Structure 1
Amino acid sequence: MAEPVRTASIAAKPQQRHEVRRADLPLSCPLPSQAVWNEHPRVYLPIENEGGHSQCPYCGTQYVLID
C-alpha cells in the first residue's frame, strides 16, 4: 500500500505595513535596516509616483509615505 503524498506546509506571513519618510527615499524592499535583507531581491518602489502608497511585488509588504 502506497503512503499518502505529503505536501510541505508554508506558513503565510502576516502582511506588514511600514511608514516611511522622504528622508528614507529612494525606497527599496527589503529596507536596509531589516534583518531579512536577503529574503528576496532588492526592488526599488516608486512610492512618490504611486500617490504615497507602494506594495512590494515579492513579499506584499506595504509602504506608506507619511510626510
Structure 2
Amino acid sequence: MDSKVRCCAQKLVEVESKDLPLYCPRPPSWDGHPRVFLKIEETGEARCPYCGTLYILKGGALARGGH
C-alpha cells in the first residue's frame, strides 16, 4: 500500500494570516496540480479551482484600509 501523502487530501483547511499569500497545493505535497495563488483576504475563504479544497482564514476577512 502506498503511504505517500497525496495532494489536497483535506477538503477543508484553516489558515492563519501568517500563511499568506495563500497557495494550493500546500506542503507537504507539491505534486498534485500546478501551484495557484488564492485571494482569501477580502472574504475570509477561497476555493482552489483545481482540486476544490476550501480554505478558511482564521479570524475571518482581513480589515481593509479606508477609501
Structure 1 outlier segments of 4+, above 6 Å: none
Match of 1:34 in 2: 28
- Cα distance, 1:14–1:29 mapped onto 2, change above 3 Å: closer
Match of 2:39 in 1: 46
Q: TM-score, normalised by structure 1?
A: 0.69
Unaligned runs of 5+ in 1: 1-12
Q: Partner letter of residue 48 of structure 1?
A: E
Q: Bigger radius of gyration, 1 or 2? A: 1
How many aligned positions are there? Answer: 52
- For residue 11 of structure 2, the aligned residue among 9, 13, 16 is 16
Mapped partners of 1:63, 1:17: distance in 2: 6
Mapped partners of 1:15, 1:38: distance in 2: 15
Sequence identity percentage = 50
Mapped partners of 2:36, 2:9: distance in 1: 20
Match of 2:48 in 1: 56
